[in-house]
């Protein structure tokens, strides 16, 4: 997109979820329909007292139960043998009697 005033290329920025086009030449800012209102709303929120802190992070959902003879780290957390990539040996096991 080119600046309607000086025809230099415009770059898109995201400010608090609002897309803003700014000219790389004259630094002018182009707002789409409704974006000025969105910025105004954001500004109003900014001047209000700080919102209550977000709720404390929930613990990850508990892993499904596993038998006590299972792997010590198996079934939860990611210390099992699955990791990011399946072990080749397990890949074969998935398809074997």
Partner 1 sequence: MTADTDTGADAPALISALADRAKAAAHPRTPTAPCSCPSAPLADRRDATVVRHDATVAKAHAPDTDPAALTLRVTTAARLPDLLLPPLTPDTATLHDRLVTFWPYGVPVDPDDPDAAPWEAAATLLARLHRTHVPAGLPPMRGPAKAARALDRLQATLRTTPGTTAHTAARPVLDAWAALPAWARAQAPMPGPPALCHGDLHLGQLVRHPAPDGPWKLIDVDDLGAGVPAWDLARPAAWYACGLLPPDEWTRFLTAYRRAGGPAVPADGDPWTALDVPARALTVQTAARAVTKALAADRPLDEVEQALVDACARMPSVAAGLPRPPRSAPGFPD
**What is the nearest approach in angstroms of partner 1 to the Cβ of residue 56?**
10
Name the one range near partner 1 by CB under 8 A: 8-16, 17-25, 32-40, 79-87. Answer: 79-87
Question: Given the complex with partner 1, which of 29 and 66 has the nearer CB atom?
Answer: 66
Among 8, 18, 31, 76, binds partner 1 (CB under 8 A): 76
Token code pair at residue 41: 């709303």
Closest CA to 31 of 47, 19, 43: 19
Among 7, 15, 27, 86, binds partner 1 (CB under 8 A): 86
- Report the SS3 class of residue 21: strand
When asked if residue 50 is in the footprint of partner 1 (CB under 8 A), the reply is: no
- Report the SS3 class of residue 36: helix
When asked if residue 54 is in the footprint of partner 1 (CB under 8 A), the reply is: no
* Cβ contacts of 81 within 8 Å, gap of 6 or more: 71, 74, 87, 90
Q: Give the DSSP H/E element, type plus range, for residue 14.
A: strand 10-15
Residues that bind partner 1 (CB under 8 A): 59-60, 62-71, 73-82, 86-87, 89-97
């Amino acid at each position: 997109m080119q600046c309607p005033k000086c025809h230099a290329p415009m770059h898109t920025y995201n400010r608090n979820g609002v897309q803003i086009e700014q000219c790389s030449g004259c630094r002018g800012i182009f707002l789409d329909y409704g974006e000025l209102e969105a910025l105004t709303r954001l500004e109003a929120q900014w001047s209000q007292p700080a919102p209550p802190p977000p709720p404390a992070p929930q613990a990850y959902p508990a892993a499904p139960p596993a038998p006590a003879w299972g792997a010590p780290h198996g079934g939860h957390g990611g210390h099992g043998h699955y990791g990011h990539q399946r072990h080749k040996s397990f890949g074969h096991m998935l398809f074997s009697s």
